[in-house]
Structure formats: C-alpha cells, structure tokens
Amino acid sequence: MIAPRRGSTAVEVERRRGRERRTLRDRVTVEEPMEIRLEVVQPGGRTETHQVAVTMRTPGDDFELAAGFLFSEGLIGRRRDIRTITYCTGPETQEYNVVSVALRPGVTFDEALLDRNFYTTSSCGVCGKASLEAVEIRGCPVFPKGSGPVWAPGMLKGLPDALREGQGVFQRTGGIHAAALVRPDGSFVSLREDVGRHNAVDKVVGHQLLEGRIPADDTLLVVSGRTSFEILQKALTAGVPGVAAVGAPSSLAVDLAREFGMTLVGFLRDDGFNVYAGGQRVEGAEDAA
C-alpha cells in the first residue's frame, strides 16, 4: 500500500509585525528529491535499469510526473510503451522518492538522450537543452494556422482566479506553482501543483498520457508563473496548441510558439492579456493589450 504523501507540512516560525513577535505554526510547501529510473528488457530477458533524472518536486502524482517527464523528453513515445510504474521501496534509503518505470518487452529508447546529464531543480527545469533545431529533429508537429480550438477573451481573463481556486496546497502555503489543461468552455481537464513549474506541467502531461488522451489538441495549457522554452516544448510534445500564463514568456518561448504555429498568451489578468503568437485562436485578440 502506498503511504500517503502530503504537499505541505507544518513548521515553527517567528512572526514579526512592528515590535510584536509571536511564535506560531505555519504551513510550507514540501520539496523533496525524486529519482526517475527506466527499466528496459534486453534480448534474452535481462533487465537493465537506467538512472534517468533527479528532480526536486512536491510529493504527489509522482507516477504522472515520471511518465510526463519521460514522454516530454522523448524517452517514451506512447502510453503502451509502459508496462508498470512503481515506487522503489524496501532497502531504498529514499522510500517513495524513487520511481521506476518499466518498459514493455521489445520497447527500446535512444540511450544517447541520457548523455544530457539530466538534473532538474524547482527553478530551472532540465538544464543544457538544445533549442529549436532539436525540437524540429524530434519531429514535433507544426500546427496549421486555422487548426485547433478558439478561446474567448472572457474565459482567458478568468483563468488566473479559476486556477488559484483549484490549488489546494497554494491555499495552505502560498508557495507552489500550478499547471492545468483547459477546454474552450473554461472547464478543467486536469490541474496539478508542484514546487517546480516544469514538474507541474509534466504531471498534467503524464496524467493525459496515462489516460490515453495524447495528443491533447483540444485543450489550452495554463501555468501560474512565467513561460519558458521548456514549458512550450512540453506542451508541443503533448499536442497542445496553446499556452497561457499569468507571467511573462521568454524570448525563446515566443520563437518556439511562432515557429510551430502555437498560441502564446502572457500576463493574464482580469482586465486583459498579451498575445505573443497564434492570435487566430483568440477571439478579438487584436484588441488585447
């Protein structure tokens, strides 16, 4: 039986307000390392275990995080590649912080992808990635100009509040990111939280992958912070045609969106937003700030 994992924990803090000092209990977001391992059955039946990545994450939805990470990085290509996903318990010193993904017999992966020395943190995601050329080499699709859903400005402007209302850990700690996939009518397909922005996206993508709903081409990815190249790449790999964020995009995120026909919206507020690419999927986008 899997032990319950908590996204927040209580700590003792000293609160200062002017000359007043009080000692009290407060809740903070949990951050712990998680190692992802990949088990591959070789010809003859021997199983090889590869250590793929270590990420600092908030416990919870760990199997989705592992599946989403492996899919986003091109190490697996579809749901049926996966035989099982389990925690490595027993003699492990980091019980429930090591996740092993076993591939089906006959399924292989490009071991050269492991040479990038995956190490992720809550702030920067996977380091040392190549840029647009690498995405093109992987064969990610270019979205035709007239394809995909259309999103109403009113729905977009309401997303930050809707996202915050769905963040249970954020309500308790105020210190966690969120990512969600949203239908054109504003309803949420899935919402996940994590101390790392990239991890939250991987959890959402992993959820869709394990449910057999990739490509998620009828949805919009919404993130609570800024958008980077990494986040746009993960959305593109999952077949998501658009990304909307409460914060700003990076220059390379804008380049990727324009190169692959994606929609990119930033600075979501209740009074407006910016459209950086793919405005044809936003009703009246030419009027947006």
**CA–CA distance from 147 to each of 103, 261, 280 (Å)?**
34, 9, 9
Rounded Cα gap, residues 124 and 171, in angstroms: 24
Measured between alpha carbons, how far is 102 from 58 in angstroms, rounded to an integer? 23
- Is it true that the peptide bond before 215 is cis, omega within 30 degrees of 0? yes
The answer to whether residue 127 is catalytic is: no
* CA–CA gap between residue 231 and residue 237 (Å, rounded): 10
Among 232, 239, 5, smallest CA distance to 99 is for: 5
Q: Which of 88, 124, 127, 140 is catalytic?
A: 124
221, 122, 67, 162: CA torsion to nearest 10: -30
List the catalytic residues.
124
